[in-house]
Amino acid sequence: MECIETVNDGECILIKGPANIEVKEGKVKVLGGTFNAGERIVIPKGKALPLKACTPTTLKIMSSSIERIKEDIPSQWRIAVEELDKAEKPVVVLVIGGVDTGKTTLTTLLGNMALERGLRVAIVDADVGQSDIGPPCFVAMGLLNHPVSDMSKVELKDAYFIGSTTPSAYPHRMIAGVKLMVERALMLGSEVVLIDTPGWISGFRARDLNVALVYVLQPSMIIALQNGNEAEGILKAFSSSETRVIRLPALASCKRDRETRKFLRETAYRRHLSGSINVELDIDRVSVVYTTLFSGSILNSDDKRKISEVLGINPVYAEASFDTLTLILPSDVDVTREKIEALRLLFKGRELHLLRETSLENILVALLDRKNMYLGVGILKKLDYAARKMVIYTPVSPDKIATVLFGSVKVVENGEEIGSIRYGY
């Protein structure tokens, strides 16, 4: 529904996506960024944005939901803006909180405010499940060159592959990724580095990750968004230290359901896969990582025969390294636990990794160049064990690819998530 809305100086409205807004006259503030007459603001489906008029303003709005609200952002959030202003630069800020507490909204606000003050701002998006800057499954970093209404407008500068949309799957990669992205942002001369995190704060393992992030990053401040006291289990770890903690109320937000989250992820995969084609890579000319596959030597016929005898089937592919035995089994036959135990005994001292022939199809992969730098994302379409070739659907030029990292999520060309895979046995 299209309408012309007049908003008086100081008045606020909340617009739900999908929405398209054109500032016809006047100017509005959106999360600390100024949008003047002639500028457009797009709100994706599943997100909502508060606008505050700075002068009497006329807006042309296409949206099914426009609501007058008292304040555009919680008044207490100003404390965070003031603290950021006062902080010695460069400043690293870690924003934590549960799901849907407003972490991304606050990060965007702080980024826009700092940019308006002429500071060089970087955002590290560590929300691997609801990625805005990079593809899902990555910790990404972007530099803020202009005010943004939505974090997905921040241009991607670098990314680190986690391989899953849940940080709990690979917390060690999360720590490495966030640390590396912050370091790179500082190396690029950023004066303000804001880290948006996933909403994983409850339970022992979540506390562990968040505390480790603080120890390794040594942020100038932690901002915790809470509905009640849900982040206190993490914050308690710093009650006796000099670490600066700012507690703020969560946004009284519209919650996103599972379907909306999935939709937003799929949109993000599609964006980063746009322009993809199938490219063929020679397995022996690239490094293949986050799998034990292709890290050793193909088994000799004697060992292969022993495996076939124990399992009662011929593996599609068998490979051993000093510490691992990796077998690709046909997809349509079952192998009993007893047989696997017998195999374990036969290759004692080696970790056994079993995969089905089709289980690696459509896994999300990350592509790195010769300096181990992020090139882009792709989907593994085909593995030809005999010809030692793999086909990857990606926008990245194949001659640049030095390393392929295997992820745990399965995605198809239109961005749809179709499942996941667990490595190892």
Ligand X SMILES: Nc1ncnc2c1ncn2[C@@H]1O[C@H](COP(=O)(O)OP(=O)(O)OP(=O)(O)O)[C@@H](O)[C@H]1O
Query: Which chain residues interact with ligand X by CB under 6 A?
Result: 14, 47-50, 72-73, 97, 99-105, 127, 130, 199, 251, 253-254, 256
Q: How far is the CB of 197 from ligand X (least distance, A)?
A: 8
Specify the DSSP element, H or E, that contains 108.
helix 103-116
Residue 253 has φ and ψ, to the nearest 5°, of -100, 170
The piece of 23-31, 122-130, 207-215, 347-355 that touches Mg ion (CB under 5 A) is 122-130
Number of residues that make up the chain: 425
Q: How far is the CB of 74 from Mg ion (least distance, A)?
A: 16
What is the DSSP track for 66-80?
EEEES-SS-GGGHHH
Q: Which does 199 bind (CB under 5 to 8 A by kind): Mg ion, ligand X, none?
A: ligand X
Q: Which is nearer to Mg ion, 13 or 123 (CB)?
A: 123
HSE, CB side, 13 Å, CA atoms: give it for residue 229: 3
Fill in the per-residue mask, 125 to 144: x = in contact with Mg ion (CB under 5 A), - = not in contact: --x-----------------
Q: Which is nearer to ligand X, 73 or 409 (CB)?
A: 73
Q: Which residues of 87-100 are buried (b: 16+ CB within 10 A; e: fewer)?
A: beebbbbbbbbbbb
Three-state secondary structure of 13-56: EEEECCEEEEEEECEEEECCEEEECCCEEEECCCCEEEEEECCC
Q: How far is the CB of 74 from ligand X (least distance, A)?
A: 8
Q: How far is the CB of 166 from ligand X (least distance, A)?
A: 12
Q: Which is nearer to ligand X, 256 or 350 (CB)?
A: 256
Q: Which does 165 bind (CB under 5 to 8 A by kind): Mg ion, ligand X, none?
A: none
Q: Which is nearer to ligand X, 65 or 331 (CB)?
A: 65
Sequence-distant (≥ 6) Cβ neighbours of residue 315 within 8 angstroms? 304, 307, 308, 327, 328, 329, 330
**Which residues in 239-298 contact Mg ion (CB under 5 A)?**
none
Q: Please state, in angstroms and rounded to a whole number, the distance separating the CA atoms of residues 313 and 330.
A: 9
**326 scored as a contact of Mg ion (CB under 5 A):** no
Q: How far is the CB of 92 from ligand X (least distance, A)?
A: 19
Number of neighbours of residue 341 by Cβ within 10 angstroms: 12
Q: Which is nearer to ligand X, 40 or 400 (CB)?
A: 40
Q: Which is nearer to ligand X, 139 or 392 (CB)?
A: 139
**57 scored as a contact of Mg ion (CB under 5 A):** no
The piece of 45-53, 103-111, 141-149, 244-252 that touches Mg ion (CB under 5 A) is 103-111
Residue 233 has φ and ψ, to the nearest 5°, of -60, -30
Sequence-distant (≥ 6) Cβ neighbours of residue 35 within 8 angstroms? 23, 27, 28, 29, 41, 147, 149
Q: How far is the CB of 29 from ligand X (least distance, A)?
A: 12
**104 scored as a contact of Mg ion (CB under 5 A):** yes
Residue type for 206, please?
A
Q: How far is the CB of 264 from ligand X (least distance, A)?
A: 9
The two tokens of residue 224 are 């915790």
Q: Which is nearer to ligand X, 12 or 288 (CB)?
A: 12
**Whose CA is closest to 310, among 280, 267, 345, 276?**
345
Residues that bind Mg ion (CB under 5 A): 103-104, 127
